[in-house]
Amino acid sequence: MTAQLLDGRELARQLQEEIQAEVAAFVRQVGVTPGLAAVLVGDDPASQVYVRNKQKACERVGIASWLHRLPSTVTTDELLQLVARLNTDDGVHGILVQLPLPPQVDTLRVLDAVTPLKDVDGFHPENVGLLVQGRPRFVPCTPLGIQRLLERHGVDTAGRAAVVVGRSDTVGKPMALLLAARGRGGDATVTICHSRTPDLGAVTRTADILIVAIGQAHCVTAEMVKPGAVVVDVGINRTDSGLVGDVDFAGVREVASLITPVPGGVGPLTVTMLLANTLTAARISQN
Catalytic residues: 54, 98, 121
How many whole angstroms separate alpha carbon 5 and alpha carbon 142? 18
Give the C-alpha distances (Å, rounded to integers) separating 236 from 21, 202, 215.
31, 24, 7
Q: What does the angle CA 97 – CA 245 – CA 54 come to, to the nearest 5 degrees?
A: 30
Which of 174, 166, 81 has its CA nearest to residue 121? 174
Phi, psi of 117 (to 5 degrees): -80, -10
Q: What is the helix (H) or strand (E) element at residue 192, kind and residue range?
A: strand 189-193
Q: What is the helix (H) or strand (E) element at residue 211, kind and residue range?
A: strand 209-212
* Total Cβ atoms within 10 A of residue 140: 29
